[in-house]
Amino acid sequence: MGNIITIFKKEMLDSLRDRRTLLTMILVPLLLIPIILSISMKMGKNRSDKAKEKIVRVALIDNNEGAELVRKLKTRTDITIYEDIPKEEFNQLIRDDSLDMALVIEPGFDAAVKKWEPGDITAYYNSTNDTIIFKKVTRSIKQFDQLLLRNRLDSLGTNDDAIAATTVTPTDVYTKSESIGQQIGGFLPYMFVIFCLMGAMYPAIDLFTGEKEKGTIETILSTPVSRVQILLGKMLVVIISGVVSGVLTIAGLYLALKLNPDIPLFLKNIVLQFLTPTSVGLIILMLIPLTTFFAGMLIPISIYAKSFKEAQSLIQPAMFVVFIPLLIGMVPGIKLTALTAVIPVLNVALASREIVAGTIKFGLLGLVFLSLIAFAMLGIFACVKGFGREGNILRT
């Protein structure tokens, strides 16, 4: 055991001197999440504010119909109406951002309304723009529609209940906090699992493929230490690097929520309510066997590769083993069950969501830990087999 600790200390110190390892293990997860969150929130807020304040440019062809609706549109201070633009130019002007929207009140609109039939209005818009602009213009149309409906009901001497055939009272079996927790817990794994993998990847390549490139692998193997002890010492560095990256990702998210002034206060309070020491602690515990499993994928590839570049090329396809289960976890209806609890990565994603929501079943959580430990053992076995082959270690 003493030899393993000695090797671990030596390799950890060497890794901490490597700028790429420090970047992927510490700086990127700790700083990138707050930066990305801050920028995205700032951009989203600025875009929303601009859309709300913007004077919307609307081309209008009324065909001498819908006089009351036209009047409502023209009295709006946040809309500028253009009535001299031909219909044939609508598409191109909207595509060129010279117009925000165009409305055509189709012929026969007034006649249809008088007969209590729907009046036709064609709206031209760019669906890739902010929906706020579309909603801003159609607000007047909806108000006009509600006025017509109210007048029709009044003329019949009835009320809204007459056109409501059924009444549905939604009763959510989940509490509001559980529902919000499910949504919050749904995106957490996609951050810390990926950074956990990235944090383990560069140390794995450096400690095995890097030794080949530096020509020091033979020297290490010639020391009076068993090959398994050398492997375990190096593997501990890879595992700890991955776990630290995952933990710092969560810490980065926490700091972003605490320090970002653009995040609404109510949203901060809700998210921080679910990031409790218990939930975070359980997630971190899952990271240890999960990262060991990652090491079991990364280290054999790093042992086999002849160069840093080759190792990166070989590891890229293996990363789909991580990304695909994470994507499956996003599919609606995928729940933590006895089956999904034994699928690596997917079980962590689903269990994290349940933990944050406070709806985790401890029997399934235990199954998740058991499966992760089993896959971790397989990872260690794969590393031992790979490091035991002279052809892999001395492959040049």
Tens digit of pLDDT for each residue in 127-165? 777 677 778 788 888 888 888 888 877 787 777 766 766
Query: At residue 103, what are phi and psi to the nearest 5 degrees?
Result: -125, 135
pLDDT of residue 270: 61
Q: Among the ranges 170-179, 292-301, 329-338, which has the highest mean pLDDT value? A: 292-301
Q: What is the pLDDT of residues 241-290, one digit of tens each?
A: 889 888 888 888 777 777 776 666 656 666 666 677 888 888 888 888 98
Cβ(353)–Cβ(239) below 8 Å:
no
pTM: 0.69
In this prediction, residue 26 has a pLDDT band, given cuts at 50, 70 and 90, of: confident
pLDDT of residue 287: 87
In this prediction, residue 166 has a pLDDT band, given cuts at 50, 70 and 90, of: confident
Q: What's the DSSP call for residue 126?
A: -
Q: What is the pLDDT of residues 202-217, one digit of tens each?
A: 888 888 888 877 777 7
Q: What is the pLDDT of residues 362-381, one digit of tens each?
A: 899 899 999 989 988 888 88
In angstroms, the Cα distances linking 230 to 7, 136, 149, 197 are 7, 66, 80, 22
pLDDT of residue 299: 87
Identify each DSSP E strand in the chain by its residue range: 56-61, 79-82, 101-105, 121-125
Cβ(226)–Cβ(188) below 8 Å:
no
The owner of tokens 């690596």 is: 344
pLDDT of residue 393: 67
Reply yes or no on whether the pLDDT at 309 is more than 80: yes
pLDDT of residue 68: 87
Mean pLDDT for all residues in the chain: 80
For the chain, counts of helices (H) and of strands (E): 18, 4
Contacts of 128 (CB under 8 A, 6+ apart): none
Reply yes or no on whether the pLDDT at 394 is more than 90: no
Cβ(25)–Cβ(245) below 8 Å:
yes
The owner of tokens 């609606």 is: 332
pLDDT of residue 232: 86
The owner of tokens 């117009």 is: 99
108 Rama sector, left if φ>0, alpha if ψ -120 to 50, beta otherwise: left
pLDDT of residue 392: 64
How far from each other are the two terminal CA atoms of the chain, in whole angstroms?
31
Region 66-82 average pLDDT: 87
Reply yes or no on whether the pLDDT at 200 is more than 80: yes
Sheet architecture: strand order including 101-105: 79-82, 56-61, 101-105, 121-125
Full set of structural domains in the chain with CATH: 2-36+177-393 (no CATH), 55-158 (3.40.1710.10)
Region 342-350 average pLDDT: 88
pLDDT of residue 247: 86
In angstroms, the Cα distances linking 201 to 38, 79, 131, 170, 377 are 27, 54, 41, 47, 19
Region 97-103 average pLDDT: 89
Strand partners, 59: 82, 102
What share of the chain has pLDDT > 70, as a percent?
Answer: 85
Reply yes or no on whether the pLDDT at 107 is more than 70: yes
